[in-house]
Structure 1
């Protein structure tokens, strides 16, 4: 996926996205990302949240409390299905321990029947979705 706009504002570089999030958005606000997937443009609504220990909003779902691998997979699957991140049914689910900016995470990979992979990073201590991308 390639992010091409946020709330209708063009995104040409990563800095454009970060700049918008810092200056024009706030935690708890819903924004619309326009993405290009397989040559097609689509709008994806996301809710912004704050990442612990870091200023500024990030993409998130509601925090759940401390989570294990099975719960992280459930959170990631819910996000992928709710936001239509993958093109077909999920065929494989895998969670591995990781770290992002000093925070322990579950790195969840969801692979659909067409081979598309959604990588969703979930905080171990809160269940918060810290990042996601689809390839």
Structure 2
């Protein structure tokens, strides 16, 4: 062989601890905390408070999308809901996705148009699809 491999090359300057090498990881964690973790904790706290405030007469939406009126709130984490006349079911509080207070749209009332999120007023995707 004309070219011999260099097995004994010295590794240059692999010395001490350098904070600059860890700085990107710290920065990524800070960004994740403020953009993902903190808002999720805030939403979970608001949802827990909303579920604990459920009372008789409230209109709720379950996680499965069923809308009903609360008939009875039991102490063991169960809520009795009337889905239609004479149709009552027991659901676990944790499955409540949304609480609509009295006076808002119920199962037989038409829902109010959403103020935002549809994108119709801003020329969003839904307004373009409807044309």
TM-score higher than 0.5? no
- Relative to the length of structure 1, the TM-score reads 0.23
Larger gyration radius, structure 1 or structure 2: 2
Structure number having the greater strand percentage: 1
Q: Which has the higher contact order (CA 8 A, sep 6+)?
A: 1
